[in-house]
C-alpha cells in the first residue's frame, strides 16, 4: 500500500467526517479505507484520529499532520494541472538560434502570433550565420539549413530546400553561362568569408558524392542578404537557397546554373537535443512553423 493512497484516505476521512462517506468518495469499502488509515498510523507510529461508528476526532498529532497532508496534496494537484495544461499551451522561456537572414524573414516574424496563442511564453532569438553549439550556449532549439546534424540531436524537417548557383541574366550575358564545376574558377563568385562560416567552399553533387569547390571573387561578406543583393545587381555568381531567391527566380531577376550538380536536398530543419520528454514550448513552435511554411503561396509572398 503506497504512502499517497494512505494520505488520501486520511484526508478524505477527515473532510467527509466519516469513514463511510469517505469510502464512497474513494470508491472503496469502509473496511478498506479503515485499513489504509491503520497502515498510515502504524507506519508513522502515532494515533492520528479516534474513530467511532458516527464520529471522527483528530488527535493533536493528527491535526498537525493533516495540515502537512493538505499542503502536499494541493502541491501535487497543482503540478499535475500545470503539466496537463502544458500539453495544450507553451510556457516558460524558449531560446532559439537561427541563420541570420532566414531568422529575420521566416522565424522571428512569426513569434508575436505564437506568443499571442501562448501568453505565458517568452522567446529569445540569436540570429547568426555561424553554426552554434546549442547545448553549450544554452539554446532550447535551433533552425538549420542543410549540413551535418549531430546524431545526439533530433532533426525535424520544416520545409524542403535546395542550394543552387544563381546569377542575373545580365551577368550571364556578359560573362557566359558556366556548364561545369571547373568553370567556376573563371567567374566572379560572391561568397561568405571566414566570419560567415563558409570557408570550405560551395557544395555540389558529382559522381554520386558530395564535394566542396573553393571559389573566389572580388566581393565577400558574412551576411546572406548582402550576397543575395549583389547577385540581383549582376555582380557575380552566388550559391543561395531556393527559399531565399524564390521570388527572383519566378520574376526572372535571377536564373540558376549548374543545376545538374546541385545538392538534392538542403532541408530547412528544426533541431534540438534528444531528450525523453520534449518540452511543449519546443514541440508547439516546431509544429507552428511547419504550418506556417506549408501555407499555400507562403514562399512567394
pLDDT at 127: 92
Mean pLDDT of the chain: 88
CA–CA gap between residue 127 and residue 22 (Å, rounded): 58
Judged against a pLDDT cut of 70, whether residue 62 lies above it is answered with: yes
Cα distance from N-terminal residue to C-terminal residue, the chain: 62
Distance CA 103, CA 223 (A): 12
Beta bridge partners of 192: 221
Numbers of helices and strands, H then E, in the chain:
10, 14
- Is pLDDT above 60 for 198? no
Compute CA 95 distance to the chain's CA centroid, rounded to the nearest angstrom.
9
Asked if 167 and 255 touch (Cβ cutoff 8 Å), the reply is yes
By C-alpha distance, which of 263, 217, 260, 269 is closest to 240? 263
Q: Residue 75 corresponds to which cell in the numbers above?
A: 502541491
Extract the C-alpha cell encoding 135. Answer: 547545448
At 283 the pLDDT is 93
Per-residue confidence at 185, pLDDT binned at 50, 70, 90? very high
Residue 17: pLDDT over 70: yes
What number is the average pLDDT over the span 192-204? 70
pLDDT tops 80 at residue 301: no
> Which residue shows C-alpha cell 532569438?
125
pLDDT at 172 over 80: yes
pLDDT category, 199, cuts 50, 70, 90?
low
Residue-level pLDDT at 196: 45
Q: Quick one: average pLDDT of 102-127?
A: 94
Kindly tell me if the per-residue pLDDT of 92 is higher than 80: yes
d(CA 103, CA 106) in angstroms, rounded, equals 5
Q: Examine the pLDDT at 6 and tell me if it is beyond 80.
A: yes
Rounded to an integer, the average pLDDT of 133-148 is 89
The pLDDT of residue 53: 60
The dihedral sign for the CA sequence 138, 135, 211, 195: positive
Angle at 74 between CA 71 and CA 79, to 5 degrees: 125
246-283 tens-digit pLDDT: 889 999 999 999 999 998 888 999 999 998 788 899 99
Give the domains, in start order, of the chain with CATH numbers: 3-85 (1.10.10.10), 92-159+268-300 (3.40.190.10), 163-261 (3.40.190.10)
- Beta strands 268-273 and 153-159, pairing class: antiparallel
Position 300 scores a pLDDT of 75
Cα dist. 253→142, 169, 239, 256, 295 in Å? 31, 7, 15, 10, 24
Residue 140 has pLDDT above 70, yes or no: yes
**Would you tell me how many other CB atoms lie within 10 Å of the CB of residue 219?**
15
Amino acid at each position: 500500500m503506497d504512502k499517497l493512497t494512505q494520505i488520501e484516505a486520511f484526508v478524505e476521512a477527515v473532510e467527509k467526517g466519516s469513514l463511510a462517506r469517505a469510502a464512497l468518495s474513494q470508491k472503496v469499502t469502509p473496511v478498506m479505507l479503515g485499513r489504509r488509515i491503520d497502515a498510515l498510523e502504524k507506519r508513522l507510529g502515532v494515533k492520528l484520529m479516534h474513530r467511532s461508528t458516527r464520529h471522527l476526532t483528530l488527535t493533536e498529532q493528527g491535526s498537525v499532520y493533516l495540515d502537512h497532508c493538505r499542503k502536499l496534496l494541493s502541491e501535487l494537484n497543482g503540478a499535475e494541472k500545470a503539466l496537463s495544461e502544458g500539453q495544450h499551451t507553451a510556457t516558460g522561456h524558449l531560446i532559439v538560434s537561427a541563420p541570420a537572414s532566414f531568422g529575420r524573414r521566416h522565424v522571428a516574424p512569426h513569434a508575436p502570433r505564437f506568443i499571442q496563442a501562448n501568453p505565458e511564453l517568452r522567446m529569445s532569438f540569436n540570429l547568426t550565420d555561424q553554426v552554434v553549439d546549442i547545448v553549450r550556449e544554452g539554446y532550447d532549439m535551433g533552425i538549420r539549413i542543410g549540413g551535418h546534424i549531430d546524431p545526439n540531436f533530433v532533426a525535424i524537417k520544416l520545409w524542403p530546400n535546395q542550394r543552387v548557383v544563381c546569377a542575373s541574366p545580365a551577368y550571364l550575358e556578359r560573362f557566359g553561362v558556366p556548364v561545369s564545376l571547373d568553370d567556376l574558377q573563371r567567374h566572379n563568385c560572391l561568397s561568405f568569408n571566414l566570419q560567415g562560416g563558409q570557408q570550405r567552399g560551395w557544395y555540389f553533387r558529382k559522381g554520386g558524392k558530395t564535394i566542396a569547390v573553393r571559389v573566389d571573387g572580388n566581393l565577400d561578406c558574412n551576411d546572406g542578404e548582402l550576397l543575395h543583393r549583389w547577385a540581383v545587381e549582376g555582380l557575380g555568381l552566388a550559391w543561395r537557397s531556393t527559399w531565399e531567391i524564390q521570388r527572383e527566380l519566378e520574376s526572372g531577376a535571377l536564373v540558376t546554373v549548374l543545376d545538374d550538380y546541385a545538392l538534392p536536398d538542403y532541408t530547412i530543419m528544426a533541431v534540438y537535443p534528444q531528450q525523453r520528454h520534449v518540452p511543449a514550448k519546443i514541440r508547439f513552435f516546431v509544429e507552428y512553423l511547419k504550418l506556417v511554411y506549408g501555407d499555400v503561396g507562403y514562399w512567394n509572398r
